[in-house]
């Protein structure tokens, strides 16, 4: 596995491989890698000649300087995990200057409103930051295929929209949520839960499965009410939101329509740790 630490080295590497006609599969990360990330590279390995990873903690997608400061940086461990997976040919570790050569500022995008729903409602500008870093990485790495986890389904939708807006010749692949044995969606945040809270957190996925069971027979309002009741009974857990949205445009819905696909999105704060998850209702 090759490790590249600056844009100039990267350029030479990409050009060399493009000249050889190699198909490039790419999944960007912010590090603190776990098996969920590795599943992206498993998907990439299936239909690309070259699998590329990147690790870069992107400052413009944080609304809070303290969150940026606290974000785990575990480069050596991450490189060991990537190496051990034997799935990745090259990992790119850019500096701030490689991504933001002038000012560390986001571009402004019009994602058609999906940037203002759910995660975007409480984090203005967050998805502009995501779009800015992903656009730059796409320009530098020139992948044929890019892979993003469905756990951050809203982010996946934003990336699909970005590729459409910029008319980039990149196919975006959503990779199913990788879950722990308990059903809890794999996340670097899970490491911050003590064993008791981690065990309790498995209820999040159980509730999502119940929502899928209820969807054919209950209204959106009835489902939301039931979910709120469940979490009111749970100590150390606070439901931040439950939203059922149209999978296409992420608009929250108040009523199911037969010809649309829906997804349930949930955020629960467990012992002070904010966990997100979702499930397709079709």
Strands in the chain per DSSP E:
2-4, 24-29, 50-55, 90-92, 145-149, 171-175, 237-246, 262-270, 273-280
Catalytic residues: 37
Q: How far is CA 26 from CA 17, 52, 97, 170, 267, in A?
A: 14, 5, 21, 10, 28
Provide the residue-wise pLDDT of the chain in tens; the chain has 282 residues: 999 999 999 999 999 999 999 999 999 999 999 999 999 999 999 999 999 999 999 999 998 888 899 888 999 999 999 999 999 999 999 999 999 999 999 999 999 999 999 999 989 999 999 999 999 999 999 999 999 999 999 999 999 999 999 999 999 999 999 999 999 999 999 988 999 999 999 999 999 999 999 999 999 999 999 999 999 999 999 999 999 999 999 999 999 999 999 999 999 999 999 999 999 999
> To 10 degrees, the CA torsion angle through 232, 234, 237, 239?
-30
Rg (CA), the chain: 19
d(CA 203, CA 99): 39
pTM value?
0.96
The domains of the chain, with CATH numbers, are 2-175 (3.40.50.620), 188-280 (3.30.1300.10)
CA-to-CA distance for 154 and 201, rounded, in angstroms?
22
């Amino acid at each position: 596995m090759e490790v590249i630490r600056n844009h100039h080295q990267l350029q030479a590497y990409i050009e060399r491989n493009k000249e050889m006609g190699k198909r490039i599969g790419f999944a960007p990360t912010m590090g603190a890698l776990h098996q969920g990330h590795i599943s992206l590279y498993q998907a990439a390995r299936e239909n690309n000649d070259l699998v590329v990873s990147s690790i870069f903690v992107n400052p413009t997608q944080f609304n809070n300087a303290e969150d940026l400061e606290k974000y785990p940086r575990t480069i050596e461990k991450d490189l060991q995990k990537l190496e051990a997976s034997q799935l990745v040919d090259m990992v790119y570790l850019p500096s701030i200057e490689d991504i933001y050569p002038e000012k560390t500022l986001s571009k402004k995008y019009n994602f058609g409103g999906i940037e203002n729903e759910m995660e975007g409602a409480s984090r203005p500008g967050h998805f502009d930051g995501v779009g800015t870093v992903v656009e730059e990485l796409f320009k530098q790495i020139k992948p044929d295929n890019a892979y993003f986890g469905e756990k951050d389904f809203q982010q996946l939708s934003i990336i699909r929209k970005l590729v459409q807006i910029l008319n980039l010749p990149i196919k975006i692949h959503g990779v199913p949520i990788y879950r722990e044995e308990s059903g809890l969606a794999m996340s670097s945040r899970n490491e911050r839960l003590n064993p008791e809270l981690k065990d309790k957190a498995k209820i999040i996925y159980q509730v999502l499965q119940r929502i899928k069971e209820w969807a054919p027979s209950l209204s959106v309002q009835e489902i939301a009410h039931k979910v709120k009741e469940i979490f009111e009974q749970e100590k150390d857990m606070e439901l931040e939101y439950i939203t059922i949205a149209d999978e296409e445009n992420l608009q929250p819905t108040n009523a199911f329509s037969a010809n649309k696909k829906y997804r349930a999105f949930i955020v629960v704060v467990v012992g002070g740790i904010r966990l997100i998850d979702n499930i397709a209702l079709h």
